[in-house]
Structure 1
């Protein structure tokens, strides 16, 4: 996905009615504010984005762009990345599988966008009504715990007060925090067999 497409995608999923500033979008996407501002102005010229206010300037999708983007998030992604059409269709089928969807495992080289695709799948599940709008999306990087299976278990399952030195309160695990939503286990292949 090109930078300008990422910016437009993020703007379309901005929860605020007033829109977002170039600075807010740049921070969220980890991009340069100048590049984001330039791309937003290009989108304005194309009629896809409207801007309002001065210092700060707020950008939001135009009404015609909203009508054009009535497709769900995964369909929009498949249109801009036709080589991933089959992957998108499989992800949609897994989300829609009765009664509560299926677990998924995303494979790919480092840096190809598995995390971004997982977040898109989550948004699709919310859009399609299979998850509530405020369902949790919990990301856990397993690589940080590859050498410590005990700590991994306590992160996933939680801990009880007094279970070990320093455990002065009950702490819910990631499984509990992600209940009713999505738990994305990033870099799961780095875990040892004990993990």
Structure 2
């Protein structure tokens, strides 16, 4: 099960995509998620301290995605909507890759055939260009559809086994793209989310980019 912070951050990402990063109020988050307003306020302020959000100065306070200063911005000319519908998605991806000390997990939601893989490829180009990832071979793709008849093999690949390390450990300091995760049983999806949340906490503790 996702923690409160993960739920708030996921909701914010969705809403900021809809309103082009115009901001979200604390009360709106609390109502949407059925949470107590003080608890939401605490989480939002924590995200501000972590450099993910910016707290507005107006009343009521609105929280926005922090603008990332990019020295060598990647050009996205071939992506339709770069300056429109995809502008916030691109900004979120850039912010996740350049997050101080370690990259953040990214969930890309899209319709089939809309260019999700191409978008992730552009994220990798951006990461290489800005030295968030040093070598192209540190980019690995796993399409869960390739394991429809071998889910056990997929789980061993993702989480490791007694005889082999997980793919996350093998691709440390790089980017792992897991496509079509929806085919995993719900229990395994939750396991993956919990694993990523635990890994993110470890990264923060060690202040290491992975």
Question: Partners of 1:149 and 1:80 in 2: how far apart?
Answer: 36
Residue aligned with 2:186, SS? coil
**What is the TM-score with the length of structure 2 in the denominator?**
0.48
Alignment of 1:37-52 (within 5 A): none
Alignment of 1:79-158 (within 5 A): 81-83=82-84, 84-134=86-136, 136-146=138-148, 148-158=150-160
Q: Which runs of 5 or more structure 2 residues have no equivalent in the other structure?
A: 1-70, 189-210
Alignment of 1:165-180 (within 5 A): 171-180=164-173
**What is the TM-score with the length of structure 1 in the denominator?**
0.51
Q: Which runs of 5 or more structure 1 residues have no equivalent in the other structure?
A: 1-69, 161-169
The answer to which structure, 1 or 2, has the higher relative contact order (CA under 8 A, 6+ apart) is 2
State the 1:90 CA deviation: 1.2
State the 1:130 CA deviation: 1.5
Greater Cα radius of gyration, structure 1 or 2: 1
Q: What do the CA deviations read for 1:166-194 (whole angstroms, capped 9, x no partner)? A: xxxx5554223322101100001221113
Aligned residues: 117
> CA 1:121/1:74 → structure 2, altered by over 3 Å: closer, same or farther?
farther
Residue aligned with 2:113, SS? coil
Contact 1:127 1:133 in 2 (8 A): no
